[in-house]
Amino acid sequence: MPNTEWRVDRDAHGMRLDKYLADAARLGSRGRAVAALERGKIFVNEAEVSIADAGRRLAADDLVRVWIDRPGSSKRRSRIGLAGDLDIVYEDDALVVVNKPAGLLTVPLERKPEVPSVFDQLEHRLRSHGRRRTFAVHRIDQDTSGVVVFAKDAEAQRVLKDQFRRREPARVYWAIVYGTPNPSSGVWRDALVWDENALIQKETHPKDPKGQESVSEYRVLETFAEASLLEVRLRTGRRNQIRIQARLRGHTLVGEERYTYGPESLRPIDFGRQALHAKRLTLRHPVDGRPLDLEASPPRDFVDLLTRLRR
């Protein structure tokens, strides 16, 4: 059966996605709609959606597409959502994507043996399902929340890491910083060098042979009395990149303790970590190459901080 798509008209504006799909003119029943969402067959505006999006309200002109004969979609996918202490964003036979909470390492570190990691929790979970190995693909900082990807076999890890090496994945963060960048959108470009002793990034001269070009695109999403919410898209992926680049421009992240300047009185907003969340990651599936648009909701502390700032 060929792919089928519909353009949402004005009469369907505000309708739930599952109800829209269940209409007789489309999939014909709620059961078929739920099954299609569970099996990864539904796309809205070319972005894959899941059963977690069943209650999503559609807007006029949204494009809804069903890929009936999508390869690998004959079986119901593993449940997406909370699995023990892990918030699973996406999972199939090749990879698992987690919304990492702040305070948890991505992978274990010898210098922090007492701190738990997502890697260890996934290993324990997968072993209980008959698998032996977890393969790390990339990392985010311990006190940064958001999307992290792990492979379930060495070949999937190799393909995914190659994508990161070629800077193909789109990596989008939310950051809450002091002040308001001017202009309200632009590009941060710096030469950075990693200090192995201090374990921090430092600015260096562009001609420094040890320096690495570091580039981020930013735009201001919302402004408050003393701070701003930024969307930052990484072109490169250096350690602590957003944190140091924001600080170099006088816009230290709220809650930041490492990349700061001046007295603490310049940073009066109380927050227990750097206000940085890895919100979205778009990459190609390591097996069939289809695009995956992976998004992690900001955690409670981040949302509460935004609520305080809006008041």
In the chain, the amino acid numbered 158 is R
Please tell me the distance from the alpha carbon of residue 107 to that of residue 119, in angstroms, as a whole number: 5
Q: What are phi and psi of 156, to 5 degrees?
A: -65, -40
Beta-carbon contacts of 89 under 8 Å, excluding residues fewer than 6 positions away, are 80, 97, 98, 99, 147, 294, 295, 296
Q: How far apart (Å, rounded) are the C-alpha atoms in residues 174 and 69?
A: 36
The C-alpha atoms of residue 302 and residue 281 are separated, in whole angstroms, by 19
Residue 141 known to be catalytic: yes
- 84 Rama sector, left if φ>0, alpha if ψ -120 to 50, beta otherwise: left
Catalytic residue, candidates 62, 87, 141, 143: 141
The CA distances from residue 64 to 31, 46, 51, 238, 255, in Å, are: 18, 8, 14, 37, 40
> What residues act catalytically?
141
